[in-house]
């Protein structure tokens, strides 16, 4: 019986190609061109093409070796009686559920579209909110003022924001570039930031909602406004993503209204 030899490649390369091959669909039409056989069972060209997605043409031989290795392992696992094991049955059930869900969503929840006018309106709103400067700020948030004042003392002694965050169990975050058109109307933190010098830390904790914030001004620059032509692609993607998330949440909510869920608050809690 003729067999297909596997050229020598490193163990790590085999593992990498097997891992990639395991992600490729194996259910292909019998009429596909056969590129290899393993104990008489075919590996089809369509299967190889699927596993090649995103890979350079030079990797074709290595990917084929991975498919052959996958089939060798599958046959060995079948001989060991693993094909009907509980983990395999669970994986098959999960794949079935995931596929059913995707098909149902595709059938009943079309992708949400954002018009050019929507993008332009949002762009104008954002630009209209910008002030003359942009600020990059590191922040620590605390549930109470005494802890925030302790953090300020640690920072004054030269400790880093990361260390202070770890010692005080605070939220340590660096904001992207922000701008304030009217700081006096946007709260005490905006007021503080616009009066600080680069590298300066707020002198006292700043109340923000139910938290107390310690902030450091990392950098300041003149406001940079990208043109609408440059910004519209990324803005459209972000707006469509948010619109699809909202539509999906509403869709699940409609299904939940027709169902009996116990305890009833689970779905409400998960959506917060």
State the sign of the Cα–Cα–Cα–Cα dihedral 198, 230, 228, 173.
negative
Q: What tokens were used for 180?
A: 């304030």
- Would you tell me how many other CB atoms lie within 10 Å of the CB of residue 217? 20
Burial class of residue 197, CB neighbours in 10 A (0-12, 13-18, 19+): exposed
Q: What is the pLDDT of residue 151?
A: 94
Helices (H), the chain: 11-22, 45-51, 60-79, 86-108, 116-128, 145-156, 161-168, 188-195, 228-257, 265-270
Pairing of strands 34-38, 41-44: antiparallel
d(Cα 183, Cα 137) in Å, to the nearest integer? Answer: 15
pLDDT score of 5 more than 60: no
Counting residues of the chain whose pLDDT is more than 90, the rounded percentage is 71
Q: What is the pLDDT of residue 263?
A: 79
Helices (H), 23-59: 45-51
DSSP secondary structure string for all residues of 105-122: HHHHSPPP---HHHHHHH
For range 103-108, the mean pLDDT: 96
Which range, of 4-8, 87-91, 106-110, 251-255, averages the lowest pLDDT? 4-8
Q: Are 225 and 130 in contact (CB under 8 A)?
A: yes
Q: What tokens were used for 208?
A: 């923000």
d(Cα 218, Cα 137) in Å, to the nearest integer? Answer: 5
Q: Which residue has the higher pLDDT, 242 or 30?
A: 242
DSSP code, position 176? -
Reported as a single tens digit per residue, the pLDDT across 189-239 is 999 999 999 999 999 999 999 999 999 999 999 998 999 999 999 999 999
């Amino acid at each position: 019986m003729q067999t297909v030899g596997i050229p020598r490649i490193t163990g790590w390369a085999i593992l990498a190609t097997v891992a990639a091959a395991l992600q490729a669909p194996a259910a292909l039409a019998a009429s596909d061109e056969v590129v290899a056989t393993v104990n008489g069972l075919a590996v089809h060209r369509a299967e190889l093409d699927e596993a090649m997605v995103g890979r350079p043409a030079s990797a074709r031989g290595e990917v084929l070796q991975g498919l052959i290795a996958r089939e060798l392992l599958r046959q060995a696992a079948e001989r060991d009686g693993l094909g009907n094991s509980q983990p395999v049955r669970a994986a098959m059930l999960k794949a079935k559920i995931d596929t059913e869900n995707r098909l149902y969503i595709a059938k009943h929840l079309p992708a949400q579209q954002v018009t050019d006018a929507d993008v332009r309106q949002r762009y104008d709103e954002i630009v209209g909110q910008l002030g003359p400067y942009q600020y990059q700020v590191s922040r620590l948030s605390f549930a109470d003022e005494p802890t925030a004042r302790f953090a300020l003392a640690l920072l004054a002694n030269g400790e880093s924001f990361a260390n202070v965050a770890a010692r005080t169990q605070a939220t340590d975050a660096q904001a992207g570039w922000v701008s304030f058109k009217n700081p006096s109307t946007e709260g005490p933190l905006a007021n503080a930031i616009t009066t600080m010098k680069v590298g300066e830390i707020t002198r006292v904790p700043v109340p923000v909602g139910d938290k107390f914030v310690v902030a450091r001004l990392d950098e300041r620059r003149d406001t940079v406004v990208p043109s609408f032509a440059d910004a519209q692609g990324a803005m459209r993607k972000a707006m469509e993503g948010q619109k699809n998330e909202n539509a999906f949440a509403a869709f699940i909510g409609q299904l939940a209204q027709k169902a009996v869920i116990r305890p009833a608050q689970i779905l409400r809690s998960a959506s917060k």
